[in-house]
Amino acid sequence: MHVPLVLTDCLDRAVDLYGGKAAIIGDDQTITYKQLNDRVNQLSRGLDELGINKGDKVAYLAPNTMEMLEGFYGVFQVGGIMTPLNTRLKPEDYKFILTHSESKVLFVDKDLYPLVESVISDIPLLEKVIIHGEAKDGYENYDNWRKQFSSEPVSRVPLEETDIASLLYTSGTTGNPKGVLLSHRSNYLHALSTMHHLRVSDSDTLLHVLPMFHVNGWGSPFYYTMNGATQVMLHKTDPQLILEKVKDHKVSVMHMAPTVLNMLFEQYEVEQPEIEQDVRVVIAGSAPPPAFVRKVEEDLGWEFIQVYGMTEITPLITTTIPRSSETGLPKEEQYRLKAKTGYSMIGSTVKVLDELGEEVPHDGKTIGEIATRSNNVMEGYYKNPEATNETIRDGWLFTGDMAVVDERGFIEIVDRKKDVIISGGENISSIEVEGVLYDHPSVLETAVIAAPHEKWGEVPHGVIVIREGHSLSEEELTFYCREKLAHFKVPKSFSFVKELPKTASGKIQKVKLRKELWKGEDKMVK
C-alpha cells in the first residue's frame, strides 16, 4: 500500500495528538494547534475561492509570524506551491522573483509592504495582494479576508509525494536569484532525519530566530509542528528581545547564524539573565572556532549543535553532535569536533571528492569538494536547466564548499570555492584565518577576503568589527596573527568597520567586501 509522504501530515498529527496545546506564541496572542488548524482551513478556503489550483505559486513576504507559519499549511491543502520571499531585498529583486515564479497571490506583512509597493502593478500574473495588517491601497486586511471563510475541514487536493511543495529563491549574490524546487517527499524525509538528530520532541519550545523564508527555514515549520512543539514567534532579530523570550517562555531550542549568536553573547554579558532551563542552540553558516563553542557551553551553559546544508538539499545533511565514541573525549577535543562541519545525517550520503571524483583520504589535509546523494536533493532550479546540470552531476549534488576529512570521519569546510585565497600559488583558507582572529578578545566580528597584490596576485585582507569599549591597531593584529599562523597566511592589511554586510540570515556577504578592494583591477571579482 502506497501512502504518499505529504507535508499536510505534519499539522494533522499535531492536531490529533496536541490539539489543545499551545502551538504558537505571538506578540499579542497564543493559539492552540486546534485553533491554528481552524485558521489554516479558513486560509485554504480563501485560496480556493481565489482560484488557486494545484501547482500555482503563492508568495509570502513576512517575518517570523503566526501568519507566515500557517501559510505553509494553508497553501499545501489546496495543492499550491509555497514561495517565501527574502525580507531584505530591493523592489527590483521582488519584481524579478514574483515574475519568474509566476506567483498568483502575494501575502505581505504591513511593515514590509513598502518594499513591493512600487512594483506590484508590474507583476504579470499576480492577481491578488493581501496584507498582514491594516488594509492599504485597496488591498485587503488578512484577518478580515480570512474570517469570511469557514474553519471546517476542507476537501483537499490529492497530492503525490513527488509534487512540488515549495519554491525557494537563493540570495543571488552573483546575478539573478535561482528558484529551488523542493518536493513534499524531500521535505518530509528531511524532517524525519533532522528531528531525530536534533532530538525534537513535544516537550520542546522553539523560538523562531532563523527566518522561515531562509534556506527552507531549515525545515523547522515541519518537524517542530509534527512533534507538537510550542513555537514562539520573533518578529525582529533583537538580542535583548531574544533573551526575554527565552526566559519568559522557557525556550529550549533556537536555530540561528553565528553572527546572531555573537550578538546574544554581547547582550548576555550586559544582562546576565537567569535562564534555568536547558537550551540547545543550533548553528549553521560560517564555521565557528572552538573557542566560540566553549563560550556557548561554558559561559552560557547552552548546548552547541553545528549543522550544515544549503537550500538545494532541503537543507541539512550533517551534524556535529558527539557520537558515543566521542563523549569520553576531553572537553577541548569535543569543542574542536563540534566546530567542524560534521558527519552525515540519516538519509544523506556525504563525501569530499577530488577533481577526479575520488573520495579524499581521511587525513585532515587533502582538500576536495563536498558532494551529496540524498532524497533531500532538489528537483532542480525552476526554469534553469543549465544551472541544474552544473550543480547535479552523475547523481551527486556538488555544493561548492571545499573541505577536508579527519581520521574520525568529521568533515571540515576550509572555504567556499570562491572564497579560497590563492596567494603565490598557495591556497589559504579564509575560515582558518578568521578562526584565529575571532580568538582575539577585542574582535567582535571579522571577514577575511582576497586583496589584490602586485607580486603574489592576491593576499589575505582582514575586515574587523571591534568590540565596544575596546581598541585595536593594525600592527597589533599583525603581530597577533604571526604568532599563530604561517606568515603567508597572515593578513597583509586590515580595515576596521562598524558593521559587516550580511544576508537576511546573518551570513557575511564577502562578495560586497571584495568588490571594494578590487575596484579598478582587471581580475574578475569572485
pLDDT band at 426, cuts 50/70/90?
confident
pLDDT digits (tens, 9 = 90+) for 176-191: 889 999 999 999 999 9
> How far is the CA of 478 from the CAs of 446, 454, 467, 516, in angstroms?
14, 20, 18, 22
C-alpha 435: how far from chain center = 21
C-alpha 236/C-alpha 327 separation (Å) is 36
What is the pLDDT at residue 423? 87
pLDDT at 362: 98
Whether residue 525 has pLDDT greater than 50 = no
In the predicted model, what is the mean pLDDT of the chain? 94
The CA–CA distances, whole Å, from 31 to 24, 36, 231, 478 equal 5, 6, 10, 55
Between CA 221 and CA 349 the distance in angstroms is 24
User: Coil, helix or strand for 418?
Assistant: helix
- Inform me whether the pLDDT recorded for 526 exceeds 70: no
pLDDT of residue 222: 98
Read off the pLDDT band of 78 (50, 70, 90).
very high
- How many angstroms separate the CA atoms of 283 and 27, rounded? 25
- Per residue, what are the HEC states of 453-476? ECCCEEEEEEEEEECCCCCCCHHH
Nearest residue to 315 (alpha-carbon basis) of 287, 347, 337, 340: 347
Residue 178's pLDDT is what? 94
Q: Which three cell numbers stand for residue 132?
A: 498582514
Quick: pLDDT tens for 339-353: 999 999 999 999 999
Candidate from 26-30, 182-186, 477-481, 515-519 with smallest mean pLDDT:
515-519
pLDDT above 60 for 174? no
Distance of alpha carbon 397 from alpha carbon 370, whole angstroms: 9
CA pair distance 405, 423, nearest whole angstrom: 23
Query: Locate cell 519568474: which residue?
Result: 100
Instruction: Give residues with Cβ within 8 angstroms of 179, minimum separation 6.
Output: 97, 100, 101, 167, 168, 169, 381, 382, 383, 384
Give bridge partners of residue 30 from the DSSP assignment: 25
Residue 367 pLDDT exceeds 50: yes
> What pLDDT, in 10s, does the model give residues 6-46?
999 999 999 999 999 999 999 999 999 999 999 999 999 99
What is the bridge-based pairing of β-strands 22-25 and 128-132? unpaired
Q: What is the DSSP string of 419-452?
A: G-EEETTEEE-HHHHHHHHHTSTTEEEEEEEEEE
What is the spatial distance between Cα 416 and Cα 450, in angstroms, rounded to a whole number?
13
- φ, ψ of residue 309 in degrees (nearest 5): 175, -170
- Which residues make Cβ contacts (< 8 Å) with residue 459, sequence separation at least 6? 421, 423, 450, 451, 453, 491, 492, 493
Contact 311, 213 (CB under 8 A): no
Of 23, 14, 84, 81, residue with least CA distance to 47: 81
pLDDT value at 62 more than 60: yes
Torsion of CA 100, 102, 106, 109, to 10 degrees: -20
Average pLDDT over residues 94-107: 97
- The predicted pLDDT at position 89 comes to 86
pLDDT band at 67 (very low <50, low <70, confident <90, very high): very high
Q: pLDDT > 70: what percent of the chain?
A: 97
pLDDT of residue 524: 43
Number of CB atoms found within 10 A of residue 360's CB: 17
**Which percentage of the chain shows pLDDT scores above 90?**
84
Contact 465, 438 (CB under 8 A): no
pLDDT tens digits, one per residue of 211-270: 999 889 999 999 999 999 999 999 999 999 999 999 999 999 999 988 889 889 989 999
pLDDT band at 427 (very low <50, low <70, confident <90, very high): confident
pLDDT per residue as tens digits for the range 296-353: 999 999 999 999 999 999 999 999 999 999 999 999 999 999 999 999 999 999 999 9
Coil, strand or helix: which one is 109?
strand
| pLDDT class of 172 with cuts at 50, 70, 90 | low
Q: How many angstroms separate the CA atoms of 269 and 436, rounded? A: 22
Q: Is the Cα dihedral 64, 66, 70, 75 positive or negative?
A: negative
Which cell numbers in the block locate residue 293?
563553542
Residue 33 identity (one-letter amino acid): Y
Maximum pairwise Cα distance, the chain: 72
Query: 125-131 long-range CB contacts below 8 Å, 24 or more apart?
Result: 125/99, 126/98, 127/50, 127/51, 128/50, 128/104, 129/105, 130/105, 130/106, 131/107
Nearest 5°: phi and psi at 175? 90, -175
